[in-house]
Amino acid sequence: MINLTRRTFLAGSASLSGLALSGCVSSTSPPETFPPSSDPAYLTMYRAMPEERFPLPAINLKKVPDRFYRQQVDYPTSERVGTLVVDTRNFYLYLVQENGKAMRYGVGLGRAGFEWSGRAKIARKSEWPKWTPPDEMIEREPELEKWSWRNGGMPPGLENPLGARALYIFQGNKDTLYRLHGTAEYWTIGNAVSSGCVRLMNQDIIDLHGRVPVGTPIMVL
């Protein structure tokens, strides 16, 4: 069962008109610079994607530690193949594969007071989703009222906090309001910055979105 430690999210756990009632925003500081990988495979992996509905720029790999690049790794586990596992201690998301392997993605996580853990499932997937801040967030930041569900939410695009794709996490038939989603702020990967959601680089959430079906189990450690 999902253990949601942020009470205000529990108060509004419902989807209205199919929109994402989720925080998923961050307050970020200037990015650090890291030695980028010279592996051309990563340059291809994180290339610009002009074919997308909203063309994505390439990831500047100098701003992301190479341990957070998408890669297949050894991952012995008792979880069944196809399960998603979020390792909150190390800021990784694993997609369990056969033969003791997993596809590993670097992630950004929720700040203190917004964390959650437990078991749930992916109940819905969306390409270039709308974003709707919950009423509790609007109370703290009234300027977000223009993106409320009453006003139709924030349209999809490069500035949308949910990024290029979103996977919606449900407990039974109940929307937890937590998401796996993309972010244009790729330099925040490996940090606790968002309002509880699990964020990936846009190129990584596009890859993950294509690999996992609706109904995929997810375990957050």
We report the CATH number of the domain holding residue 43 as 2.40.440.10
Q: Alpha-carbon distance 36 to 42, whole Å?
A: 10
pLDDT score of 62: 92
pLDDT score of 4: 41
| Global pTM value | 0.85
- Other C-beta atoms closer than 10 Å to the C-beta of 185 total 21
* Total of domains in the chain: 1
Question: For the chain, which ranges sit under pLDDT 50?
Answer: 1-21, 113
pLDDT score of 133: 84
pLDDT score of 169: 95
pLDDT score of 24: 67
Domain of 175 in residue numbering reads as 3-220
Burial of 21 per CB tally in 10 Å (0-12, 13-18, 19+): buried
pLDDT score of 110: 80
Amino acid identity, residue 101?
K
